[in-house]
Amino acid sequence: MRKLYKAIGEEKLRLALAVTILGITSTLVFPQTARSTRWSTIFTAQTVRDRLSTPQGREEALAFCRRLHLSKVYIEVFRDGYEADPATLRAARDFFQRAGFQVSGAVATTQLGKPSTGWKIVACYTNRANREHLARIFHDAASLFNEIIIDDFFFTDCQCSECAAAKGSLSWPQYRKKLMLEVSRNDVLGPARQVNPRVKIILKYPQWYDQYQARGYSVSAETALYDRIWVGTELRDPSSSRWGHKQQYEGFFLYRWLTDIGGAKTGGAWFDPYGTDPTFYLDQAYVSVLAGAPEILLFNLGDLDSARYQAQAEALMPRQENLAALAKLVGGWRGIPAYKPPSSDPGSEPYIFDEIGMLGIPLLPVAEFPKGAKMALFTDHALTDAQFVPKLAQFFDQGGAAFVSEDLAHRLSGDPRLPAADGIGLNEGEYLKTVKENRGEMVVFSDALPRLAFVDSGDRIEQLTPALRLALREWREKVATQVPTSLDAPPRVAVFPMGGGRVAIMNFTELPVACHLAKQGGIVGRLRLLFASPGASLVSDGSTLRLPAHSLLMVEE
Long-range contacts of 524-531, Cβ-Cβ distance < 8 Å, separation of 24 or more:
524/484, 524/557, 527/555, 527/556, 527/557, 528/555, 528/556, 529/553, 529/554, 529/555, 530/329, 530/502, 530/554, 530/555, 530/556, 531/325, 531/326, 531/329, 531/504
122, pLDDT greater than 90:
yes
Based on the fold, state whether residues 311 and 376 are members of the same structural domain.
Answer: no
H-run or E-run covering 182: helix 172-183
Based on the fold, state whether residues 275 and 391 are members of the same structural domain.
Answer: no
Instruction: Choose the most confident range, by mean pLDDT, from 5-9, 261-265, 424-428.
Output: 261-265
Based on the fold, state whether residues 544 and 504 are members of the same structural domain.
Answer: yes
104 φ, ψ (degrees, to nearest 5): -130, 170
pLDDT (tens digit per residue) in 68-110: 999 999 999 999 999 999 999 999 999 999 999 999 999 999 9
Based on the fold, state whether residues 432 and 518 are members of the same structural domain.
Answer: no
pLDDT band, very low/low/confident/very high, at 12 (cuts 50, 70, 90): very low
3 lies in a domain?
A: no
> How many domains does the chain contain in total?
3
CATH number of the domain to which 229 belongs: 3.20.20.80
Based on the fold, state whether residues 207 and 221 are members of the same structural domain.
Answer: yes
Percent of the chain with pLDDT over 90: 87
End position of a domain, from candidates 479, 500, 524: 479
290 lies in a domain?
A: yes
Based on the fold, state whether residues 124 and 17 are members of the same structural domain.
Answer: no
22 lies in a domain?
A: yes
- Report the pLDDT value the prediction gives residue 13, as an integer from 0 to 100: 31
CATH number of the domain to which 364 belongs: 3.40.50
- Report the pLDDT value the prediction gives residue 520, as an integer from 0 to 100: 82
4 lies in a domain?
A: no
Based on the fold, state whether residues 405 and 552 are members of the same structural domain.
Answer: no
304 lies in a domain?
A: yes
Based on the fold, state whether residues 383 and 267 are members of the same structural domain.
Answer: no
216, pLDDT greater than 50:
yes
**Enclosing domain of residue 541:** 484-557
- Max intra-chain CA distance, the chain: 73
pTM, whole model, 2 decimals? 0.92
- Report the pLDDT value the prediction gives residue 9, as an integer from 0 to 100: 36
End position of a domain, from candidates 300, 327, 354: 327
- Report the pLDDT value the prediction gives residue 521, as an integer from 0 to 100: 65
pLDDT (tens digit per residue) in 457-472: 777 788 899 999 999 9
The three state secondary structure string of 246-314 is: CCCHHHHHHHHHHHHHHHHHEEEEEECCCCCCHHHHHHHHHHHHHCCCCEEEECCHHHHCCCCCHHHHH
213 φ, ψ (degrees, to nearest 5): -65, -25
Based on the fold, state whether residues 216 and 252 are members of the same structural domain.
Answer: yes
278, pLDDT greater than 50:
yes
Based on the fold, state whether residues 86 and 172 are members of the same structural domain.
Answer: yes
17, pLDDT greater than 60:
no
Based on the fold, state whether residues 383 and 368 are members of the same structural domain.
Answer: yes
Q: What is the mean pLDDT of the chain?
A: 92
495 lies in a domain?
A: yes
1 lies in a domain?
A: no
155 lies in a domain?
A: yes
- Report the pLDDT value the prediction gives residue 214, as an integer from 0 to 100: 95
DSSP 19-85: G-TT---SS-BPPP-----EEEEEE-HHHHHHHSSSHHHHHHHHHHHHHTT--EEEEEEEETTEE--
Based on the fold, state whether residues 49 and 63 are members of the same structural domain.
Answer: yes
End position of a domain, from candidates 434, 455, 479: 479
Instruction: Report the candidate in 425, 466, 462, 477 with the shortest Cα–Cα distance to residue 446.
Output: 425
